[in-house]
């Protein structure tokens, strides 16, 4: 097993997750089996209770793990399936050690940070690195570990010490450190400054870790003189100083690293059994990056959410939309709309903000209402859903978005004026969304449904079924407490009025919401399809939204869900494509009409 530790300096949010994902991508493109671990030094057990404004979205894994959004980057870049133990936190480690102490495993010894906490960290990493993450079930060969935060943070000290010891335990030829640092460039002088990187590396070396590669994040390509200075003062060769400047898309980062000889360096430094030239997978990334830069047509999507002040709150949603837009050769224009701005109360408080929000919504080609919790902003989401249904704008509702679509349909089509979710109104006479019977926790609070679940097929002639390829079932990840409990007969009342009502049912619960007749695309899903979207395998519901918004959905369905006569899309249920080793969606050429 080879271990690659990615640390960061100067500032947080510098892009360690993208660098770690890109390193994994180029190694996987060389034929290696790669896994990833993200270490977060906070004391929380996991990210499940975080506000979206704290650390962005909560990413959900197959086993129900609620983890940091960087694990979403790993899964998307590497096309792997991780588990909750791939996200290691201070809280998890201390809980693990305390439980062992309570069980008497330490035989009465004084439990300390060194060696007990540091040993537990090393054991966790070595154990988790062996867990298969690919469909072939084979043991990984390389583990890329990202240490969150910045070097020098008091929270990360036990982890730094653990890896200082770890490098000797696994031997030098099996461990290397990539340090990501910022090279600022003040606008007044436009001179690139290397001093912050020097101090950051000096701090890291003082703690016992010497970087093998120094990755410099900068706005412009690194000047040779600055690169030489970093090389001299950071005790590395010039070729070990890697420049990652701002690029047009994240798809270019793996290519940028490969162009600067990272593969050759790993070949020598870790004695990896790889070919010198990356194979087909990286060529797909280059094709994506080139096509992204050549896109001319634009498709605009209005994202009506509750946490739009921090874009990372919808990181996976944004990526799923980008994947789908790229698949149909369109550039995505994403319009973030705070749902509270669409409510009538905002018109009284701030008319300008109200009209600007509605102008954004009305000018978009499609509407997306993502998930969320709490009553704030829900009436604004219902307003957006009602507008999309009446104006025949393509619409996709995810989780709460799907639940509110059912509420809107029930109020304005079925005539149940007080229809609502019991999450927001426990006294409603029409609780169309509520907690399922038997889903109560120890204190009477509904236990969330978080994991990979199957949606039973009942959709042969429905558009979503066609987008998925009409499989027997689909597997998608869920994260919700409340579910649509409305019965089929009640939904059919809408059909009698000429508006239609269709649904796909799981075991007694609705998985996919109502479909309005004579509407280009009006779909709601209880699960979160964005968590399984990949750059070269877009999520079917999101792909359907982009196709409908671009006016290409009917043509796509008529051609048997093909983007061109030779480019096919096959579902995630197991149907293979001519190039299933790399992708299930083959992209058309750049000039494809």
Secondary structure (3-state) at 27 = helix
Q: Which of 66, 343, 528, 561 is catalytic?
A: 528
Q: What is the distance of C-alpha 564 from the center of its chain?
A: 28
Q: What CA–CA distance (Å, rounded) separates 357 from 368?
A: 14
Whether the bond into 495 is cis, omega within 30 of 0: no
φ/ψ of 100, rounded to 5, equals -65, -40
Q: What CA–CA distance (Å, rounded) separates 35 from 146?
A: 11
SS3 per residue for 418-466: CCEECCCCCCCCCEEEECCCCCECCCCCECCEEEEEEEECCCCCCHHHH
Q: Of the candidates 218, 156, 209, 149, which has an alpha carbon nearest to the alpha carbon of residue 11?
A: 149
Secondary structure (3-state) at 396 = strand
Asked whether the beta carbons of 182 and 150 are under 8 A apart, the reply is: no
Q: Summarize the chain as % helix, strand, coil (round to 5).
A: 40, 20, 40
- 373 by Cβ neighbours in 10 Å (0-12 / 13-18 / 19+) ranks as middle
Q: Which of 399, 476, 483, 561 is catalytic?
A: 399
Strand order across the beta sheet in which 431-434 lies: 420-421, 431-434, 483-484
Q: What CA–CA distance (Å, rounded) separates 418 from 513?
A: 19
Judge whether 235 counts as a catalytic residue: no
User: What residues contact residue 592 under an 8 Å CB cut-off, 6+ apart?
Assistant: 329, 563, 564
Q: What CA–CA distance (Å, rounded) separates 562 from 272?
A: 39
φ/ψ of 369, rounded to 5, equals -115, 105
Judge whether 146 counts as a catalytic residue: no
Q: Tokens 């907690």: give the residue.
A: 435
Q: What CA–CA distance (Å, rounded) separates 439 from 437?
A: 6
Q: What CA–CA distance (Å, rounded) separates 445 from 271?
A: 53
User: What residues contact residue 581 under an 8 Å CB cut-off, 6+ apart?
Assistant: 280
Q: Which of 408, 511, 530, 584 is catalytic?
A: 530
Q: What CA–CA distance (Å, rounded) separates 571 from 569?
A: 7
Judge whether 492 counts as a catalytic residue: no
User: What residues contact residue 202 under an 8 Å CB cut-off, 6+ apart?
Assistant: none
Angle at 32 between CA 26 and CA 36, to 5 degrees: 75
> Which residues are annotated as catalytic?
399, 528, 530
């Amino acid at each position: 097993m080879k271990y690659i530790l990615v640390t960061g300096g100067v500032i947080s949010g510098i892009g360690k997750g993208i660098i770690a994902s890109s390193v994994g991508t180029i190694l996987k493109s060389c034929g290696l089996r790669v896994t990833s671990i993200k270490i977060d030094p906070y004391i929380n057990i996991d990210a499940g209770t975080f506000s979206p404004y704290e650390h962005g979205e909560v990413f959900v894994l197959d086993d129900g793990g609620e983890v940091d959004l960087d694990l979403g980057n790993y899964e998307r870049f590497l096309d792997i399936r991780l588990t909750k133990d791939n996200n290691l936190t201070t809280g998890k480690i201390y809980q693990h050690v305390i439980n062992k102490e309570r069980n008497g495993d330490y035989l009465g010894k004084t439990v300390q940070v060194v060696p007990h906490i540091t040993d537990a960290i090393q054991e966790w990493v070595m154990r988790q690195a062996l867990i298969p993450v690919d469909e072939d079930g084979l043991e990984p060969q390389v583990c890329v570990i990202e240490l969150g935060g910045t070097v020098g943070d008091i929270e990360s000290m036990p982890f730094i010490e653990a890896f200082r010891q770890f490098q000797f335990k696994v031997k030098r030829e099996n461990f290397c450190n990539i340090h990501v640092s910022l090279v600022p460039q003040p606008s007044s002088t436009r001179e690139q400054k290397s001093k912050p990187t020097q101090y950051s590396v000096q701090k890291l070396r003082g703690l016992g870790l010497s970087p093998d590669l120094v990755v410099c994040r900068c706005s412009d390509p690194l000047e040779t003189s600055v690169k030489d200075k970093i090389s001299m003062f950071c005790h590395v060769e010039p070729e070990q100083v890697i420049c990652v400047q701002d690029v047009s898309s994240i798809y270019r980062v793996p290519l940028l690293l490969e162009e600067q000889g990272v593969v050759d360096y790993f070949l020598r430094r870790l004695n990896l059994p790889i070919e010198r030239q990356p194979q087909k997978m990286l060529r797909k990334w280059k094709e994506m990056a080139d096509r992204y830069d050549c896109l001319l047509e634009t498709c605009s999507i209005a994202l009506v959410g509750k946490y739009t002040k921090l874009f990372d709150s919808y990181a996976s949603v944004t990526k799923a939309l980008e994947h789908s837009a790229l698949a149909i050769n369109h550039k995505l224009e994403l319009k973030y709309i705070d749902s509270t701005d669409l409510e009538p109360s905002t018109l009284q408080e701030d008319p300008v903000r109200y009209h600007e929000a509605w102008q954004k919504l009305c000018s978009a080609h499609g509407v997306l209402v993502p998930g969320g919790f709490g009553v704030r902003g829900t009436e604004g989401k219902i307003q957006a859903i009602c507008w999309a249904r009446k104006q025949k704008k393509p619409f996709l509702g995810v989780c709460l978005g799907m639940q509110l679509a059912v509420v809107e349909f029930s109020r304005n089509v079925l005539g149940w004026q007080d229809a609502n979710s019991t999450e927001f109104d426990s006294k409603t006479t029409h609780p169309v969304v509520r907690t399922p019977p038997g889903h109560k926790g120890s204190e009477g609070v509904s236990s969330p449904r978080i994991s990979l679940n199957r949606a039973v097929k009942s959709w042969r002639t429905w558009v979503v079924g066609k987008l998925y390829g009409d499989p027997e079932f689909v597997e998608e990840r869920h994260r919700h407490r409340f579910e649509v409990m409305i019965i089929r007969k009640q939904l059919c009342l809408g059909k009698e009025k000429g508006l239609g009502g269709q649904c796909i049912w799981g075991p007694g619960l609705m998985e996919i919401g109502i479909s309005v007749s004579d509407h280009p695309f009006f779909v709601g899903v209880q699960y979160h399809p964005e968590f399984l979207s990949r750059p070269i395998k877009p999520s079917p519901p999101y792909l359907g939204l982009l196709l409908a918004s671009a006016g290409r959905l009917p043509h796509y369905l008529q051609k048997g869900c093909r983007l061109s006569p030779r480019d096919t899309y096959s579902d995630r249920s197991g149907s293979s494509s001519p190039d299933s080793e790399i992708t299930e969606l083959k992209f058309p050429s750049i000039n494809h009409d």
